[in-house]
Structure 1
Protein backbone atom coordinates (compact mmCIF):
# COMPACT_ATOMS: atom_id res chain seq x y z
CA UNK A 1 0.00 0.00 0.00
CA UNK A 2 1.02 3.58 -0.47
CA UNK A 3 2.41 5.84 2.25
CA UNK A 4 -0.63 8.07 1.97
CA UNK A 5 -3.98 6.58 2.93
CA UNK A 6 -6.06 8.56 0.44
CA UNK A 7 -3.87 7.95 -2.64
CA UNK A 8 -3.55 5.06 -5.09
CA UNK A 9 -0.18 3.32 -5.09
CA UNK A 10 1.77 3.61 -8.32
CA UNK A 11 1.78 -0.22 -8.54
CA UNK A 12 -2.04 -0.49 -8.51
CA UNK A 13 -2.44 0.30 -12.22
CA UNK A 14 -4.87 3.13 -11.54
CA UNK A 15 -5.29 5.62 -14.35
CA UNK A 16 -6.55 9.02 -13.21
CA UNK A 17 -9.84 9.94 -14.81
CA UNK A 18 -11.04 6.35 -15.23
CA UNK A 19 -14.72 6.04 -14.31
CA UNK A 20 -14.82 3.13 -11.85
CA UNK A 21 -18.56 3.25 -11.09
CA UNK A 22 -20.08 -0.21 -11.48
CA UNK A 23 -16.74 -2.02 -11.47
CA UNK A 24 -16.50 -5.27 -9.48
CA UNK A 25 -14.57 -5.22 -6.21
CA UNK A 26 -12.68 -8.25 -4.92
CA UNK A 27 -11.28 -8.62 -1.40
CA UNK A 28 -8.25 -10.83 -0.86
CA UNK A 29 -10.62 -13.75 -0.24
CA UNK A 30 -13.46 -13.15 -2.70
CA UNK A 31 -16.06 -10.86 -4.24
CA UNK A 32 -17.52 -8.11 -2.03
CA UNK A 33 -19.52 -5.80 -4.28
CA UNK A 34 -19.25 -3.01 -6.81
CA UNK A 35 -18.08 0.59 -6.88
CA UNK A 36 -20.97 2.97 -6.25
CA UNK A 37 -18.95 6.22 -6.02
CA UNK A 38 -15.30 7.18 -6.19
CA UNK A 39 -12.93 10.12 -6.10
CA UNK A 40 -9.68 10.70 -7.95
CA UNK A 41 -8.83 13.90 -6.10
CA UNK A 42 -5.14 14.24 -5.20
CA UNK A 43 -4.62 13.09 -1.58
CA UNK A 44 -8.39 12.43 -1.31
CA UNK A 45 -9.01 9.34 -3.45
CA UNK A 46 -11.45 6.74 -2.23
CA UNK A 47 -14.08 4.19 -3.21
CA UNK A 48 -17.59 3.79 -1.91
CA UNK A 49 -18.38 0.11 -2.31
CA UNK A 50 -21.94 -1.19 -2.35
CA UNK A 51 -21.72 -4.61 -0.70
CA UNK A 52 -25.25 -5.54 -1.78
CA UNK A 53 -26.87 -8.42 0.07
CA UNK A 54 -23.51 -9.74 1.26
CA UNK A 55 -23.61 -7.51 4.36
CA UNK A 56 -27.18 -6.30 4.04
CA UNK A 57 -26.67 -3.49 1.55
CA UNK A 58 -24.08 -1.56 3.51
CA UNK A 59 -21.99 0.97 1.62
CA UNK A 60 -18.42 1.23 2.90
CA UNK A 61 -15.81 3.91 2.38
CA UNK A 62 -12.45 2.48 1.35
CA UNK A 63 -9.32 4.58 0.90
CA UNK A 64 -7.53 4.34 -2.44
CA UNK A 65 -4.45 2.90 -0.76
CA UNK A 66 -6.40 -0.34 -0.13
CA UNK A 67 -6.53 -0.97 -3.89
CA UNK A 68 -3.84 -3.53 -4.60
CA UNK A 69 -4.43 -3.96 -8.33
CA UNK A 70 -6.82 -2.78 -11.03
CA UNK A 71 -7.72 -4.91 -14.03
CA UNK A 72 -8.59 -2.32 -16.67
CA UNK A 73 -9.78 -4.91 -19.19
CA UNK A 74 -12.08 -6.88 -16.89
CA UNK A 75 -13.18 -3.82 -14.83
CA UNK A 76 -12.21 -5.34 -11.49
CA UNK A 77 -10.52 -3.74 -8.48
CA UNK A 78 -8.58 -5.99 -6.12
CA UNK A 79 -8.22 -4.87 -2.51
CA UNK A 80 -5.53 -5.59 0.05
CA UNK A 81 -8.36 -6.25 2.53
CA UNK A 82 -10.18 -9.42 3.52
CA UNK A 83 -13.96 -9.79 3.44
CA UNK A 84 -13.93 -9.54 7.24
CA UNK A 85 -12.02 -6.23 7.12
CA UNK A 86 -14.53 -4.83 4.63
CA UNK A 87 -17.44 -6.10 6.72
CA UNK A 88 -15.98 -4.25 9.74
CA UNK A 89 -15.25 -1.08 7.78
CA UNK A 90 -17.08 2.12 8.67
CA UNK A 91 -20.33 2.65 6.86
CA UNK A 92 -20.32 5.45 4.32
CA UNK A 93 -22.41 8.41 5.53
CA UNK A 94 -22.58 10.87 2.64
CA UNK A 95 -23.74 13.87 4.69
CA UNK A 96 -20.75 13.47 7.04
CA UNK A 97 -18.11 12.45 4.55
CA UNK A 98 -17.03 15.86 3.30
CA UNK A 99 -18.38 18.11 6.04
CA UNK A 100 -17.39 16.33 9.27
CA UNK A 101 -13.63 16.32 9.85
CA UNK A 102 -13.93 14.04 12.89
CA UNK A 103 -15.84 11.41 10.87
CA UNK A 104 -13.10 11.48 8.23
CA UNK A 105 -10.37 11.23 10.89
CA UNK A 106 -12.18 8.29 12.55
CA UNK A 107 -12.25 6.52 9.20
CA UNK A 108 -8.55 7.21 8.62
CA UNK A 109 -7.74 5.92 12.09
CA UNK A 110 -9.74 2.74 11.42
CA UNK A 111 -7.67 1.94 8.34
CA UNK A 112 -4.37 2.86 9.96
CA UNK A 113 -4.63 0.88 13.18
CA UNK A 114 -8.08 -0.44 13.87
CA UNK A 115 -9.21 2.87 15.37
CA UNK A 116 -12.76 3.24 16.62
CA UNK A 117 -13.95 0.54 14.20
CA UNK A 118 -12.64 -3.06 14.37
CA UNK A 119 -10.57 -4.61 11.61
CA UNK A 120 -8.22 -1.92 10.30
CA UNK A 121 -5.46 -2.55 7.77
CA UNK A 122 -2.62 -1.72 10.11
CA UNK A 123 -0.15 1.13 10.36
CA UNK A 124 0.69 3.38 7.41
Structure 2
Protein backbone atom coordinates (compact mmCIF):
# COMPACT_ATOMS: atom_id res chain seq x y z
CA UNK A 1 0.00 0.00 0.00
CA UNK A 2 1.45 3.36 -1.01
CA UNK A 3 -1.28 5.73 0.22
CA UNK A 4 0.64 6.97 3.28
CA UNK A 5 3.32 8.57 1.04
CA UNK A 6 0.66 11.10 0.00
CA UNK A 7 0.32 12.54 3.53
CA UNK A 8 2.70 14.67 5.57
CA UNK A 9 4.30 12.94 8.54
CA UNK A 10 3.06 14.31 11.85
CA UNK A 11 6.67 15.21 12.72
CA UNK A 12 7.29 17.28 9.55
CA UNK A 13 5.89 20.47 11.04
CA UNK A 14 3.47 21.11 8.19
CA UNK A 15 0.45 23.27 8.94
CA UNK A 16 -2.46 22.88 6.53
CA UNK A 17 -2.99 26.03 4.52
CA UNK A 18 0.66 27.13 4.67
CA UNK A 19 1.72 28.54 1.30
CA UNK A 20 4.85 26.56 0.35
CA UNK A 21 5.32 27.89 -3.18
CA UNK A 22 8.81 29.39 -3.46
CA UNK A 23 10.27 27.44 -0.53
CA UNK A 24 13.72 25.95 -1.17
CA UNK A 25 13.87 22.16 -1.12
CA UNK A 26 16.84 20.44 0.49
CA UNK A 27 17.74 16.80 -0.16
CA UNK A 28 19.99 14.89 2.24
CA UNK A 29 23.04 16.05 0.26
CA UNK A 30 22.09 19.57 -0.80
CA UNK A 31 19.62 21.87 -2.48
CA UNK A 32 17.48 20.51 -5.33
CA UNK A 33 15.33 23.51 -6.23
CA UNK A 34 12.18 25.39 -5.25
CA UNK A 35 8.54 24.48 -4.82
CA UNK A 36 6.61 25.49 -7.92
CA UNK A 37 3.26 24.05 -6.82
CA UNK A 38 1.90 22.05 -3.90
CA UNK A 39 -1.23 20.37 -2.63
CA UNK A 40 -2.45 19.97 0.94
CA UNK A 41 -5.32 17.69 -0.03
CA UNK A 42 -5.74 14.97 2.57
CA UNK A 43 -4.37 11.70 1.20
CA UNK A 44 -3.08 13.41 -1.95
CA UNK A 45 -0.55 15.98 -0.71
CA UNK A 46 2.55 16.62 -2.81
CA UNK A 47 5.18 19.13 -3.91
CA UNK A 48 6.12 19.96 -7.49
CA UNK A 49 9.77 21.01 -7.40
CA UNK A 50 11.45 22.99 -10.17
CA UNK A 51 15.05 21.74 -10.16
CA UNK A 52 16.28 24.57 -12.40
CA UNK A 53 19.56 23.88 -14.16
CA UNK A 54 20.56 21.18 -11.69
CA UNK A 55 18.90 18.44 -13.77
CA UNK A 56 18.26 20.50 -16.87
CA UNK A 57 15.09 22.20 -15.77
CA UNK A 58 13.28 19.01 -14.87
CA UNK A 59 10.31 19.20 -12.54
CA UNK A 60 9.77 16.43 -10.05
CA UNK A 61 6.72 15.51 -8.02
CA UNK A 62 7.50 14.58 -4.42
CA UNK A 63 4.79 12.95 -2.33
CA UNK A 64 4.28 14.73 1.01
CA UNK A 65 5.53 11.64 2.84
CA UNK A 66 9.07 12.40 1.63
CA UNK A 67 9.13 15.59 3.72
CA UNK A 68 10.94 15.23 7.04
CA UNK A 69 10.87 18.86 8.16
CA UNK A 70 9.55 22.25 7.12
CA UNK A 71 11.35 25.35 8.37
CA UNK A 72 8.90 28.22 7.96
CA UNK A 73 11.38 30.86 9.18
CA UNK A 74 14.04 29.82 6.65
CA UNK A 75 11.44 28.94 3.97
CA UNK A 76 13.02 25.51 3.46
CA UNK A 77 11.62 22.02 3.10
CA UNK A 78 13.84 19.05 3.92
CA UNK A 79 13.24 15.69 2.25
CA UNK A 80 14.67 12.27 3.04
CA UNK A 81 16.09 11.46 -0.40
CA UNK A 82 19.45 12.24 -1.98
CA UNK A 83 19.80 14.40 -5.08
CA UNK A 84 20.56 11.30 -7.15
CA UNK A 85 17.43 9.50 -5.93
CA UNK A 86 15.29 12.50 -6.85
CA UNK A 87 17.00 12.85 -10.22
CA UNK A 88 16.20 9.20 -10.98
CA UNK A 89 12.55 9.48 -9.92
CA UNK A 90 9.77 8.95 -12.47
CA UNK A 91 9.42 12.06 -14.63
CA UNK A 92 6.63 14.49 -13.80
CA UNK A 93 3.80 14.46 -16.29
CA UNK A 94 2.00 17.70 -15.46
CA UNK A 95 -0.93 16.94 -17.72
CA UNK A 96 -1.75 13.61 -16.09
CA UNK A 97 -0.32 13.46 -12.56
CA UNK A 98 -3.67 14.20 -10.96
CA UNK A 99 -5.84 12.00 -13.18
CA UNK A 100 -3.66 8.95 -13.81
CA UNK A 101 -3.85 6.32 -11.04
CA UNK A 102 -1.01 4.32 -12.65
CA UNK A 103 1.35 7.31 -12.46
CA UNK A 104 0.35 7.94 -8.85
CA UNK A 105 1.01 4.25 -8.07
CA UNK A 106 4.40 4.41 -9.81
CA UNK A 107 5.46 7.38 -7.69
CA UNK A 108 4.03 5.88 -4.52
CA UNK A 109 5.95 2.67 -5.13
CA UNK A 110 9.19 4.56 -5.89
CA UNK A 111 9.06 6.66 -2.72
CA UNK A 112 7.08 4.34 -0.46
CA UNK A 113 8.14 1.58 1.93
CA UNK A 114 10.00 -1.17 0.14
CA UNK A 115 10.51 0.97 -2.98
CA UNK A 116 14.03 1.57 -4.30
CA UNK A 117 14.35 4.80 -2.35
CA UNK A 118 11.48 4.65 0.10
CA UNK A 119 11.59 3.94 3.77
CA UNK A 120 11.84 0.52 5.34
CA UNK A 121 8.92 -1.87 5.26
CA UNK A 122 6.83 -1.35 8.38
Both structures adopt the same fold (TM-score exceeding 0.5): yes
Distance in structure 2 (CA, Å) of the matches to 1:11 and 1:108: 20
Stretch of structure 1 that moved more, 60-69 or 91-100: 91-100
Other-structure match for 1:9:
9
Other-structure match for 1:40:
40
SS in 2 for 1:94: coil
Deviation at 1:123, TM superposition (A): 4.3
Instruction: Check conservation: 1:48, 1:62, Cα contact below 8 A.
Output: yes
Distance 1:36 1:80, change over 3 A: same
Point out the structure with the larger helix share: 1
Unpaired runs of 5+ residues, structure 1, are: none
Instruction: Check conservation: 1:38, 1:48, Cα contact below 8 A.
Output: yes
Deviation at 1:91, TM superposition (A): 1.6
Moved >4 Å (runs of 4+): none
Distance in structure 1 (CA, Å) of the matches to 2:119 and 2:68: 15
Instruction: Check conservation: 1:89, 1:120, Cα contact below 8 A.
Output: no
Per the normalisation by structure 2, the TM-score is 0.90
Within 5 Å, which residues of 2 pair with 1:84-123? 84-112=84-112, 113-114=114-115, 119-123=116-120
Deviation at 1:120, TM superposition (A): 2.4
SS in 2 for 1:85: helix
RMSD (Å), alpha carbons:
1.4
Distance in structure 1 (CA, Å) of the matches to 2:46 and 2:65: 8
Per the normalisation by structure 1, the TM-score is 0.89
Q: Number of paired residues? A: 118
Q: Deviations over 1:52-106 (max 9, x none)?
A: 0000000001010110101010100001111111111112111111111111111
Unpaired runs of 5+ residues, structure 2, are: none
